[in-house]
Structure 1
Amino acid sequence: MRRTVLGRTGLEVSRIALGGYPFGGVNRANGWDPWSEDGRRTAIATINRALDLGITYIDTAPSYGAGNSEALIGQVMQTRRDECVLATKVGWSGMDKQAVIDSVYESLKRLRTDHLDLVQFHGGMYTAQEYHHIVDGGPLDGLRRLKEQGDIAFIGLTAEEPWTARQFLDVPDIDVVQLAYNLIYQAAARHVLEDARAANVGVVTMRTMTSGIFQRAARHLAPTWQDAADLYEVCLKFVLSDSRVHTAIVGMRWPEEVERNVALVDGFDPDFDLAELPRMTAHVYQAEDADLPT
Structure 2
Amino acid sequence: MKYVDFGKTGLKVSRIAVGGYPFAGVNKAQGWDPYSDEGRKTAIHTIHTALDLGINYIDTAAGYGNGHSESIIGEVLKTRRDECFVASKVSYKGIDKRGVMESVEASLKRMQTEHIDVIQFHGGIYDNESYDHIVNGGLLEGLQELRQQGKVRLLGLTTEDAHSALNLCNTNLFDVVQVNYNIIYQAAALHLLDLTSEKGMGVAIMRPMTSGIFQRLMEYLSPNMAQHEDLYSLCLKFLLSDSRVHIINAGMRWPEEVERNVQLVDSYDPPLDIVNLPRMTVKIYETDDLRNGFVPSN
TM-score, normalising length: structure 2: 0.97
Q: How does 1:78-117 map to 2 (within 5 A)?
A: 78-117=78-117
1:193 aligned partner, one-letter code: L
Q: Comparing 46-55 with 125-134, which one deviates more in the overlay?
A: 125-134
Q: How does 1:145-224 map to 2 (within 5 A)?
A: 145-224=145-224
1:234 aligned partner, one-letter code: L
SS of the equivalent of 2:170 reads: coil
Q: Comparing 269-278 with 103-112, which one deviates more in the overlay?
A: 269-278
SS of the equivalent of 1:174 reads: coil
Residue of structure 2 in register with 1:291 after alignment: 291
CA offset at residue 229 of structure 1?
5.5
In structure 1, distance between residues paired with 2:156 and 2:169: 10
Cα deviation, 1:170-192, whole Å, max 9, x if unaligned, reads: 22320000000000000000021
SS of the equivalent of 1:95 reads: coil
Q: Comparing 160-169 with 150-159, which one deviates more in the overlay?
A: 160-169
CA offset at residue 95 of structure 1?
1.4
Cα deviation, 1:114-147, whole Å, max 9, x if unaligned, reads: 1010000000010012111101101100000000
1:279 aligned partner, one-letter code: R
RMSD of the alignment, in Å?
A: 1.0
Structure 1: state its 5+ residue gaps.
Answer: none
Residue of structure 1 in register with 2:273 after alignment: 273
In structure 2, distance between residues paired with 1:188 and 1:45: 34
In structure 1, distance between residues paired with 2:272 and 2:234: 14
SS of the equivalent of 1:7 reads: coil
In structure 1, distance between residues paired with 2:195 and 2:172: 14
In structure 1, distance between residues paired with 2:193 and 2:239: 12
CA offset at residue 228 of structure 1?
5.6
In structure 1, distance between residues paired with 2:143 and 2:164: 20
Identity of aligned residues (%): 55
In structure 1, distance between residues paired with 2:79 and 2:228: 43
SS of the equivalent of 1:112 reads: coil
Residues 1:64 and 2:64 aligned together: yes
Q: Which runs of 4+ in 1 moved over 3 A?
A: 226-229
In structure 2, distance between residues paired with 1:131 and 1:226: 40
CA offset at residue 227 of structure 1?
5.0
SS of the equivalent of 2:171 reads: coil
Cα deviation, 1:44-66, whole Å, max 9, x if unaligned, reads: 00000000000001000011111
Residue of structure 2 in register with 1:14 after alignment: 14
Q: How does 1:20-35 map to 2 (within 5 A)?
A: 20-35=20-35
SS of the equivalent of 1:196 reads: helix
In structure 2, distance between residues paired with 1:228 and 1:16: 22
In structure 2, distance between residues paired with 1:62 and 1:292: 53
In structure 1, distance between residues paired with 2:228 and 2:32: 28
SS of the equivalent of 1:33 reads: coil
Structure 2: state its 5+ residue gaps.
Answer: none
Q: Comparing 171-180 with 69-78, which one deviates more in the overlay?
A: 171-180
In structure 1, distance between residues paired with 2:232 and 2:14: 19
In structure 2, distance between residues paired with 1:46 and 1:265: 17
In structure 1, distance between residues paired with 2:205 and 2:259: 20
TM-score, normalising length: structure 1: 0.98
In structure 1, distance between residues paired with 2:284 and 2:175: 33
In structure 2, distance between residues paired with 1:34 and 1:228: 27
In structure 1, distance between residues paired with 2:65 and 2:230: 30
CA offset at residue 169 of structure 1?
1.9
SS of the equivalent of 1:63 reads: coil
In structure 1, distance between residues paired with 2:169 and 2:227: 42
In structure 2, distance between residues paired with 1:22 and 1:172: 32
SS of the equivalent of 1:224 reads: helix
Residue of structure 1 in register with 2:44 after alignment: 44
Q: How does 1:242-281 map to 2 (within 5 A)?
A: 242-281=242-281
In structure 2, distance between residues paired with 1:220 and 1:107: 41
